[in-house]
Amino acid sequence: YAAQEKINPTTLASRKELEKLLSSPDECALLSGWRKTIIGEKLLHFLDGSQSLSVKNNKVIIEGSK
């Protein structure tokens, strides 16, 4: 999604913010504003198991019901 939106991946979701998503989601910047729209909701679906990742033709594909 970072490449699609022309955003540096670390600007979109730093390692620190990904860790915070797991430990303190209420304080996580990934779940507010533009980050929530671009990646936050997708990460939540991945974490709750409603979506999964796979690799096809050297590309990461998001699969699932959402």
Could you state, in order of their start, the residue ranges of all structural domains in the chain?
2-64
| 54 pLDDT above the threshold of 70 | yes
The pLDDT-based confidence of 66 (bands split at 50, 70, 90) is: low
C-alpha 57/C-alpha 25 separation (Å) is: 33
Predicted confidence at residue 65, as pLDDT, reads: 65
